[in-house]
Amino acid sequence: MSVTWRHGQSDGTARSGYLETPHGEVATPAFMPVGTRGTVKTLDSEDLERAGAQMVLANTYHLMLRPGADVVAKLGELHTFMSWNGPILTDSGGYQGFSLDPDISEEGVSFKSVYDGSRVELTPEGAVEVQEALGADVAMVLDVLIGLPASREDTIAAMEQTLRWAERSLRARGRSDRALWGIVQGGSDPDLRARSAAATAKLGFTGFGIGGLSVGETAEARNRAVEAAVPELPETAPRYVMGLGDTEGLLDCIARGVDLFDCVLPTRLARHGKALSRDGDFSMKRAEWIRSEGPIDAECRCVACRRYSRGYLRHLVATGEFLGPRLLSIHNLTYTLELMADTRNAIAAGTFDQFRTDTLARRTTAN
């Protein structure tokens, strides 16, 4: 069995569906917690299950260096290695090519290892080979990512090279029981986004990432890019905006027909003492919480909200106790995953637009 997406219901442009994989079904719209090195920082697989995670993301670049794709394969591939029974998506390493002082050529990308400073070479074919060894349900092609704003010339060059690499990735594919998805580029230019999406769709991928966003553009520019790309992609394929995880951004893109997301934001904010909530996001470091008896969010079902007060959580954060980031990570992921579940319910009920309006208004009013 490979990976397929089947349509569920729609409410205007927003839509729900089911991503079927060898390791289970994912109801969409869905958010993937980021387990860069085969772990979501401070959390284990049971934490993720209790939070409501259906699918997680792992990072090709980091895992190919430590412990190595061959080690992961020998230990039963990623699902066994990290004891996660659900689906896994791996990114290709393209973001590392953007963020680690890269040298990009037609052949591939070269950049310094964050572990020992050695030079790492990654080609489109190599990225596919590593991801197939890791055993991910969904692998992403290697792409060329550029920061925004960028010149039209540079944006076109990155887009066209991503397309050439996508063709090479398809030819390198060796496992029919796993999916390989293409990536749409084009910066914040709607015309280039539409061109990239149409050309990537023509290659015949069964799923599509919309990449190159959350790298300096405004929310308005991001939305225009998504609006331009989505109509050029097949209705029967999942659409995945890569690296997006804030409440407003998620709802913006769901309203434009996107199905899948990932981001480090919920857990990264937790490690810096910030809590997400239905009434807006706030820092647990604030002195006003010292004597607060209430939970982060009275409507949240997570252990941090069911058992602990803001006063206690503020104490953990202020004193640097490891339990603080762990509990806040559980809470922030639970909040984000519950947002996705509520979104799916609203789409099924035909009330997504009102749900979105009410959700954003509540957060704005609280702040």
Side-chain half-sphere CA neighbours of 289 within 13 A: 22
Distance CA(94)–CA(199), nearest Å, equals: 19
Catalytic residue status for 252: no
Catalytic-labelled residue, pool 91, 143, 189, 259: 91
Q: Residue 248: how many CB atoms within 10 A of its CB?
A: 13
Q: What is the DSSP letter of 232?
A: G
Identity (one letter) of the amino acid at 238? P
Catalytic residue status for 91: yes
For residue 317, count CB atoms less than 10 angstroms from its CB and return exposed for 0-12, middle for 13-18, buried for 19 or more. Answer: buried
- Report in angstroms the alpha-carbon separations of 137 from 105, 203, 264, 336: 29, 20, 20, 23
Q: Which residues pair with 179 in a beta bridge?
A: 138
Q: Which residue has the tokens 């934490």?
A: 47
Q: What is the DSSP letter of 244?
A: -
Structure-token pair, residue 116: 């020992």
Prior bond of 266 cis (ω within 30°): no
Catalytic-labelled residue, pool 47, 143, 259, 262: 262
Distance CA(265)–CA(172), nearest Å, equals: 33
Q: Which residue has the tokens 């503020």?
A: 314
Q: Residue 354: how many CB atoms within 10 A of its CB?
A: 12
Distance CA(283)–CA(204), nearest Å, equals: 45
Q: Coil, strand, or helix at residue 188?
A: coil
Residues forming the active site: 91, 262
